Amino acid sequence: MLLLPLLVIALIATSVVIGYRSCSEEEPDTILADTVYHFLLDTPTVTPVKSGPYNSFVYNIPTYIVPGRLNEIFLDSNYHHVKEGEAIGIKPIDGLRGAYDTRRNIVRIFSCDDYLVDSMMTYSAPYLVPEAAVLLRDIAHEFHDTVKARGGKDYRIKVTSLMRTNQSVSRLKRFNRAATDQSSHRYGTSFDISWVKFDSRDTSHIVSLEDLKNVLAEIVYAKRQQGRCYAIFEKRQGCFHITVRQQPQQQPKPES
Ligand SMILES: [Zn+2]
Residues 6+ apart with CB under 8 A from 236: 178
DSSP-H helix ranges across 150-226: 166-175, 209-225
3-class secondary structure, 37? coil
Task: Kindly give the distance from the C-alpha atom of residue 150 to the centroid of ligand 1, in angstroms, as a whole number.
Answer: 28
Q: How far apart are CA 121 and CA 193, in angstroms?
A: 12
Contacts with 183 (C-beta within 8 Å, 6 or more apart), sequence order = 82, 164, 169, 190
Question: How many angstroms does the Cα of residue 107 sit away from the middle of ligand 1?
Answer: 18
190 CA to middle of ligand 1, Å?
A: 6
Distance 110 CA to ligand 1 centre (A): 18
| pLDDT band at 222; cut points 50, 70, 90 | very high
pLDDT at 251: 55
pLDDT score at 103: 84
Q: What is the pTM of this model?
A: 0.77
Domain ranges of the chain: 3-21+66-244
Q: Are 117 and 1 in contact (CB under 8 A)?
A: no
**Is 40 a residue whose pLDDT tops 50?**
no
Residues near ion ligand 1 (CB < 5 Å) are 192, 241
Pairing of strands 47-51, 56-60: antiparallel
Report the separation in Å between the CA atom of 242 and the middle of ligand 1, taken as the mean of its atom positions. 7
Among 78, 98, 82, 79, CA closest to 187: 82
Give the integer Cα–Cα distance in Å for 18 and 167.
Answer: 25
